[in-house]
A = this chain, B = another copy of it.
Amino acid sequence: MPVSKHQFNLEPSIDFDTVANKKQQYEVNVLCSELKLKLKVMAGGDNKKAEKKPKANVSGGGKKKEVKKETGLGLSFKKDENFGEWYSEVVVSGEMIEYYDISGCYIIRPWAMSIWEIMQTFFDAEIKKMKIKNCYFPLFVSPGVLEKEKDHIEGFAPEVAWVTKSGQSDLEVPIAIRPTSETVMYPYYSKWIRGHRDLPLKLNQWCNVVRWEFSNPTPFIRSREFLWQEGHTAFATKSEADTEVLDILELYRRIYEEFMAVPVIKGKKSELEKFAGGLYTTTVEAFVPNTGRGIQGATSHCLGQNFSNMFDITFENEKGEKAKAWQNSWAYTTRTIGVMVMVHGDDKGLVLPPKVASVQVIVIPVPYKDADTQGIFDACNATVETLSEAGIGAEADFRDNYSPGWKYSHWEMKGVPLRIEIGPKDLANNQVRAVRRDSGAKIDLPRASLVEQVKEILYKIQESLFEAAKQRRDACIQTVKTWDEFVEALGQRKMILAPWCDEVEVEKDVKARTKGEMGAAKSLCSPMEQPEIPEGTICFASGKPAKKWTYWGRSY
């Protein structure tokens, strides 16, 4: 399926004129036509004027019967047929996201927020072990400071949002909203760091940042405001900085692979793709098979001494000499959640890996006419209690205005890893029926060994989600050696591993030669684990001697 570059551009925008100013007028017509489609799809879910009462919408959960008939619970789009629409619909119907009346901004609902909190708890504890401390720097940056590092500001300037008024008064000087906090923080690093004993200085903050982007706003993946952590550290030596870059990258890998069950490739970004103003950028790179696009999962940058030069972050070393600090910065964002949805979701909705699901098991009573309804309800309550006591996130859905079938669909839409059904037969046999969200497999579990078996199943779900995702990802990886092979693989939307000469001009050339309606190819990363490069191997694009293996493809 060809996937339009504009498929995510579907929410109403209040600033088309500004978009036009950004020389993207050509996209506006596409946007408008797709907007109409979208509004039709939303079936009355009025996203543009949220202050008006919508009549009904596609988000199933918690809605009453008159709003959402059982037959209307499914998704309107299929993942393999219209991925962009499917994604928009699944994050809304799964109650992760609500579209907001300002384009590119999204409401993160509790169902998604709980995932963010689980990862936060993990990551925050890990960095505290590394003696990194949390702090909070202001949202606002004055222009002089923001513009201090030239390469850096070139990278961010077009996306900076400016505050120019308070109340009815104009500010004397416009104030920027942080797109990232290097320039916010480093003037103070300069102040705080005097001698080698002040190093390392290792700070982190959990906050919101704003990048007023105009291309492809997509929930989680690309939004104008997003949540992240940003770590900013300073060291006396490059080797300490290098070590930390990789320690953090490993935590990012764990977030994706151990929590999100999403396989990633650890690698290094090219000169063209590295962080603006930094020395080198490492990345965990994910891949979305349905769109054939790579996606930068999280990045850990060594800034070298570029910022310490600009911001005069110097210290007296042990020999009494002046030296510049070596700096890192690293961040991961709410994008992680979007990648997870894209990789695991299916035509029934979200599929949550057990490790990030706040509700891991949903217990649903299946009463029959003339059956012992109270007994069934009691068994459901007891099941929830038993599982909760064992540390498993379990809830029961006792709502009396929905049928069991509706509830199955509802909790499948929300991606709960395991469903437990309890009906008269289960009650009689002192068992429960467990149904896996990922595979649909049904297993009868004796209530006596419930906890151990549920734990085992959740563990298996986590594992097999990762394995399945890895198989799908690996099936998309293609090794090429020539330009023709490269073009062919790109046409098949592969993640392409190719020998490369590692020259900036050649990457620019690859971009220029692959420009098209689906977007140009670029380097994704050079994997840390490099396959051997036999003597005489040449670059797929330039014919010069190849220096490294690099992944290429289209990307988000």
Task: Give A residues with C-beta under 8 Å from B.
Answer: 14-18, 21-22, 45-46, 50-51, 53-54, 57, 62-64, 67, 98, 100-102, 105-110, 113-114, 116-117, 133-142, 144-145, 148, 157-175, 177, 187-188, 190-192, 194-195, 197-198, 203, 207-208, 210, 212, 224-225, 227, 311-312, 316, 399, 401
Q: What is the distance, in angstroms, from A26's C-beta to the closest C-beta of chain B? A: 16
Interface pair A197/B399, CB less than 8 Å apart: yes
**A138 contacts B102, CB within 8 Å?**
yes
Instruction: Give the shortest distance, in Å, between A106 (CB) and chain B (any CB).
Output: 7
Q: List, in ascending order, chain B residues with CB within 8 A of A57's CB.
A: 191
Q: How far is the CB of A378 from chain B (nearest CB, A)?
A: 22
**Contact A14-B225, Cβ < 8 Å, known A102-B138, A162-B165:** no
Interface centre among A21, A51, A187, A312 (most CB of B within 10 A): A51
Known: A138-B105, A172-B15. A401 touches B197 (CB 8 A): yes
Complex Cα spacing A257 to B519, Å:
59
Contact residue among B14, B51, B174, B227 (Cβ-Cβ distance under 8 Å from A173): B14
Give Cα distance in the complex from A168 to B158, angstroms. Answer: 7
A-side interface mostly? mixed
- Chain B residue numbers with a CB within 8 Å of A135 are 107-110, 113
Is the Cβ of A164 less than 8 Å from the Cβ of B164? yes
The answer to whether A227 and B138 touch across the interface, beta carbons within 8 angstroms, is no
Taken together as a complex, chains A and B put the C-alpha atoms of A137 and B109 apart, in Å, by: 8
Say yes or no: B401 contacts A102, CB within 8 Å: no
What separation, in Å, do the CA atoms of A175 and B136 have in the docked complex?
24
Given the known A-B contacts A134-B117, A142-B14, are A51 and B148 also in contact in the complex, defined by CB atoms under 8 Å? yes
> Could you say which of B50, B113, B160 contacts A166, with CB atoms under 8 Å apart?
B160
A167-B22 in contact given A138-B106, A148-B51 (Cβ < 8 Å): yes
